[in-house]
Each structure stands twice: as C-alpha cells, then as structure tokens.
Chain A
C-alpha cells in the first residue's frame, strides 16, 4: 500500500513554541494510529514562522517564493492535515490566516484535517470551534469532530472529572484523523494542467 502524506501546519511564532509541541503530539499519535492500521506515513512539517515573509510577499505579488511554493504544494497533495495555531485576540494568529489566504481555495477540499490551538488559559479554547472550524469548513475540508486545545496548564495536568487530560484528547483526535485518512484513497498528485477541459467543451455553442 502506498504511504500517506501527513502535512503538519504549525502557526506558532515563538521558538520554542508550545503550538509546535502540540502539533508534534498530535502528529505522533496520528502516525502511531496509522501504523497500527498497517499504513506507512510520510510527515512534513510546515513551520509558518519561517515562511512569514514569503506569505506576506505572496499576498502582495500573487506568486509564491520557492519555500512557500513547496509548502503549498505539500498541502495540496496531503492525505491528512494537522493544523495548529496559537489563539491571538480571540482567534487564530494573523500569520496563520494569511497562510490560509494564499492557499488555493480548492487545496484542502475533502482533505481530512485535525485542528489544534494553544493559549495561555482554557478560556480561549472555543476559538477552535468559533474561528478555526468555520475557516476550514469554508475550504471544504473534512474536519474531524474532536479538536484539541492546549492551555499552559494542560502540559502538567492529569485531567479531572470535567476534562480529560491532554494525552487522552490527543489520542482521540488522532484516531479520528487516522480513521479518515485510512478510509480514503491516497491523493493522486495532480498538476495544474491535468484537468483542462477540451476547448470544444469550453466553446459550447458559441
């Protein structure tokens, strides 16, 4: 069976970044789950910090510089995506949104996506449902039901009656993503020119 490509978008801006930390946990759990299903994975991590200038340049010029072009192309060919953003001012980080802005609107259509977010306290956690989920719904992504928020405290919290501990939430979300990735045919790597209709069709009755 061909391996599946998991592309991880980490929108953390500090280094080291707790956003990347969460992204890595989600990735590890997803890969393990797929391995149990007998599916090999190739993981590619897109750190938005390193692409920040390229993203802004593309919003101005319309073309992607080489590193950004590689990231966009990886996403378009992904079998599954893990996208994690810090929460800034009640929503995803501006750079994270700018990156989504330069994505081809069709790039994630039908692609299984697992969403994650980080923030100082759990009070920010619904940004996942109010901001990230609608954004990916707009892109027609297949967003898994469980998204994972990690507040600072979560990194040393065994959970409680109301909230399951982070590792358990990570495992559950990863299993949902893995199940969807496993259920889909691997993405065929298509080019810009593969789907050009015949000119007779374009012409119609004109």
Chain B
C-alpha cells in the first residue's frame, strides 16, 4: 500500500503570526516538502492544479518535472489534473513528457475542477463539466494509445493525422486515477476504463466515501476489469500530529479555525469526528486510518493533506517525519498483513503495466514515425539543411 502527501498549493496567512508567504516562497516550500517526503521514504507526492489565487499550482508538470530530477524514489502525481479546462492534446504531450523524464515514476489523477470562473477563463462552460471530462479523457487516451489520430468532437478543434509526442514511455501510457467527491458518473468513468478511483474524503463523512468507492468497485467488476475487491482505490486524508495528543490539538486549532474551506464553520471536535481529519498522536492516526479499509475494502493509496491553512514549512517537514517514521511503517505492515493475495498491494507501477501490455500482446511501438506525415522528411534531413544554412552565415 502506498502512502503519500498532496498539496493544493494554497497561499494562506499563518494565523498565529499573521505572516503570509509570497508565491515564490510557497512554490519553493512545495519543492522542499516533496524532496523531504522523498528522503523520508513516503511513496507519493501529488500537486494540485489551480488557476486562481490564493493557489500557486498552475503548472504541475513544470514542478513535477523538476522534482523528477531532484528526487529518487517518490512517485509524482497530481491532485487533480483539470480534464475539463485543459486541452487534452496538451495534457497528452505534457504528461507523456513527464513520464519519459521521470522514467515512469509518475501517474496522474483527473478531476473536473470546481472553481466557476476558471471555465470561462479557459473558454469553457462549467455546465458542460461532465461532458468535457468524458470527451477530453476519451481523446487523451487515444492520443496516448494510437500513434496517428483522426478525431473530431464537440469541444475542441478536430485533429487530422495528429501524433502526440513524445510517445509514452515503453509504449505504455501513464496510469490514470479519477477523483470525484460526489459525482457517480466519474466513478463510472474510472470503472469503465479500469482506471483508479480516488475519493478525496477530507471534507466528507466516511459513510459517503464508502458509498462512492463501493459503487466504483461494483462497476469495475461489471466492466470486466477484475473483481470488485481488486479495483484500484485511493483515499484522501488529513492529519496533524504531535507525540502528545493535547499538544497537537492546541497547536493545530488556530489553523483549523481559520482554514480555507472549513474555517469558521464546524468545530474541530465535530469535524474530526465526522471527517477523516485526525488531530492527535501518531497512534491515534494509526487507529483511525488503519480502520478505513473496513468501510471501503483493501485499498492501494492513502494520501494526506498536511501543508495547508498557513502551516509553516518547518512544521510541515516535522509532520512528514512523524508520518514516515511513526505512522506509515505500521499502517503499511498492517495493510500488507490483512491483504488477500489476489488483491493488488499497490496501484500498477510502470514496469507492471509494461509487463501486462506485453503479455496481452498490445505493446505499441515506442517511436513516432521516422518522418512527419506532411513533408515526408525526417528531422535529420532538416538538420542537414539547418547546418548548411548555419555554415553560410558563420
């Protein structure tokens, strides 16, 4: 089972000091957090994607590409990639590039985005959110799976003879998750393709999460990808820990009370009882998160939000250390001990997907066509011409 952290990249005033980082400081903090998580031994770092303040995560593949070079083992992902307002052609290119650059140490999670104005800013209509997610993702898959794509649809300009480059690493596209909190159609989409489904339950009661996940599991089996209990499931979570439980409560409360989204709403007592937010000792986090499988079945990825609401970088790094040293090893061991042998321990890695594709005889050629479709010329031909031109001007 994988355990990781995800950041929405919010720039929020620290309510205890009144200090607000600027965008540059926040971006660098995210990079530090990801590198620290890698060094500490966490499994996944995922970046959100937002196109409005107070968020800085507008360009996830730039950040993840940098991190691919700076980190060793951690898997790089998104939470989420906007499948509605991004051009699926650019997504195919950017995430294939990230896949190649990271050597397959990545996956990504599709989401629709819930910030109204972002849709018109990118020329889209929020009322078309679901049809956009369906059409764009169908195109994205074709661009990864088929070398030359002829396509026309409702939401973007048609494509004739288009090849997205670089081609996916080893001819196998990245693994994809779909994230949704309350839209069964998205769980259905994940099930239809046999993709992963992540329920980011951080603001919702676990009963609701269990309903969504179990619906996805049944549909996964219905679509013939395996048994319901073999579907690939992830959960979002949220924790704040100190060795002493009361110290955790005292320290986190001002951040909770002023946090974006739920601040000035429910009390921390209510919210920790009704949602997965757990504030307390590492053992309390182990007890709570070690029991979620009873409601959603054995699952493959648990993500934690730990760097929001204005928490200082130093505190976030300490949280990573507590997670990695005191919590994750226990949860991982417990999960492994109770997992049936034919239920996947983890989401499929790149190597596993390559092996599966090879076994199924559907490994596509890794290279794009040697010459482009329009001129019949290869890059080398142009190189010679360019060198010749360069020689005359020198």
Contacts and interface: CB of A to CB of B under 8 A. Distances in A.
Interface of A: 56-57, 60-63, 65-66, 192-193, 196-197, 199, 202-206
Interface stretch (B243-251, B257-265, B285-293): B257-265
Contact of B261 (A61, A192, A197): A61
B188 A199 contact: yes
B265 A206 contact: no
A74 B83 CA distance: 35
A192 B211 contact: yes
Interface in B32-84: none
B217 to A, nearest CB: 12
B203 A63 contact: yes
A202 B130 contact: yes
A60 B205 CA distance: 15
B192 A199 contact: yes
A196 B264 contact: no
A108 to B, nearest CB: 19
A193 B134 contact: no
B153 A206 contact: yes
Contacts of A63: 203-205, 208, 275
B158 interface: no
Given A57-B265, A202-B185, 18 more contacts: A56-B265, A60-B264, A63-B203, A63-B204, A63-B205, A63-B208, A65-B266, A65-B270, A66-B274, A193-B211, A196-B184, A196-B185, A196-B215, A197-B185, A199-B188, A202-B188, A202-B189, A204-B135
Contacts of A57: 265-266, 270
A61 B208 CA distance: 14
B279 to A, nearest CB: 16
B153 A60 contact: no
B134 A202 contact: yes
Interface-centre pick from A56, A199, A205 (highest chain B CB count, 10 A)? A199
Contacts of B131: 202
A192 B211 CA distance: 9
Given A66-B274, A193-B211, A60 B265 contact: yes
A61 to B, nearest CB: 5
A202 B131 CA distance: 7
Give 7 nearest A-B pairs by CB, closest first.
A60-B265, A199-B192, A206-B135, A206-B138, A196-B184, A57-B266, A57-B265
Contacts of B211: 192-193
A202 B154 CA distance: 13
B180 to A, nearest CB: 12
Chain A binding site: helix, strand, loop or mixed by DSSP? loop
A63 B203 CA distance: 7
Interface in B221-236: 223
Contacts of A193: 184, 211, 215
B118 interface: no
Contacts of B182: 192
Interface in B82-134: 130-131, 134
A13 B204 CA distance: 28
Contacts of B261: 60-61
A65 B269 CA distance: 13
A193 B139 CA distance: 26
Contacts of B208: 63
Contacts of B205: 63, 66
A61 B266 contact: yes
Contacts of B275: 63
A56 B261 CA distance: 13
A203 B154 CA distance: 11
Interface in B162-208: 182, 184-185, 188-189, 191-192, 203-205, 208
Given A56-B265, A60-B264, A61-B261, A205 B153 contact: yes
A93 B275 CA distance: 30
B195 to A, nearest CB: 12
18 contacts: A56-B265, A60-B261, A60-B264, A61-B203, A61-B262, A61-B265, A63-B203, A63-B275, A66-B205, A192-B184, A193-B211, A196-B184, A199-B189, A199-B223, A202-B185, A205-B153, A206-B134, A206-B153
A125 B270 CA distance: 39
Contacts of B192: 199
Contacts of A205: 153
Nearest to A202: B134
Nearest to A69: B205
Interface string B339-363: 0000000000000000000000000
A57 B265 CA distance: 5
A203 B275 CA distance: 33
A194 to B, nearest CB: 9
A203 B185 CA distance: 11
Nearest to B139: A206
Contacts of B274: 65-66
Nearest to B208: A63
A199 B133 CA distance: 12
A199 B130 CA distance: 12
A197 B189 CA distance: 11
Interface-centre pick from B130, B139, B265 (highest chain A CB count, 10 A)? B265
B262 A60 contact: yes
Contacts of B265: 56-57, 60-61
Contacts of A203: 134, 138
B72 to A, nearest CB: 38
Nearest to A64: B205
B126 to A, nearest CB: 15
